[in-house]
Amino acid sequence: MGREVGRKEFGVFLPVANGGWIVSSTTPPLDGLYPQNRAAAVLADQIGMDFVMSMAKFRGFGGDTDHWGAALESVTLMAALAEATSRVKIWATLHPLLQNPAVAAKMIATLDHISGGRAGLNIVAGAYRDEFAQMSAWDDALSHDDRYALAEEWTRLVKRLWVEDSVSHEGRFFTLTDCQSKPKPLSKPRPDLICAGVSERGFSFAVAEADACFIGGEDEAALRDASRRARTRAADLGKTIRTYAMCTVVHADTDAQAQALADRYRDGVDMGAVTTMLSNWGVPPERLAETAARQGAFMTRTVIGAPATCGARIGDLVETCELDGLMLIFPDYEAGLAMFGAEILPGLREAYP
Q: Which domains does the chain have, with CATH numbers?
A: 9-351 (3.20.20.30)
What digits encode the pLDDT tens for the residues 199-222?
899 999 999 999 999 998 889 999
What digits encode the pLDDT tens for the residues 59-69?
999 999 999 99
The region of weakest confidence among 265-269, 291-295, 337-341 is 291-295
The pairing of strands 192-196 and 119-123 is: parallel
Amino acid 281: pLDDT: 81
Amino acid 5: pLDDT: 56
What digits encode the pLDDT tens for the residues 34-49?
999 999 999 999 999 9
**In the predicted model, what is the mean pLDDT of residues 162-166?**
98
What digits encode the pLDDT tens for the residues 122-160?
999 977 888 999 999 999 999 999 999 999 999 999 999
User: CA-based angle 237:159:203, to the nearest 5?
Assistant: 45
State the Cα–Cα distance between residues 221 and 212, nearest whole angstrom: 20
User: Alpha-carbon torsion 142, 144, 146, 147, what sign?
Assistant: positive
Distances (CA, A) of 175 to 101, 102, 179, 291: 10, 10, 9, 42
Percent of the chain with pLDDT over 90: 92
Please, how many CA atoms are within 13 Å of residue 127, restricted to the half-sphere of its CB? 29
Amino acid 83: pLDDT: 98
**pTM for the whole thing?**
0.95
Amino acid 282: pLDDT: 82
For the chain, give the mean pLDDT. 95
2, pLDDT greater than 50: no
Amino acid 3: pLDDT: 45
Task: Produce one character per residue of 208-226: b if its CB has 16 or more CB atoms within 10 Å, e if not.
Answer: bbbbbbbbebeeeeebbeb
State the Cα–Cα distance between residues 275 and 351, nearest whole angstrom: 40
What digits encode the pLDDT tens for the residues 74-89?
999 999 999 999 999 9
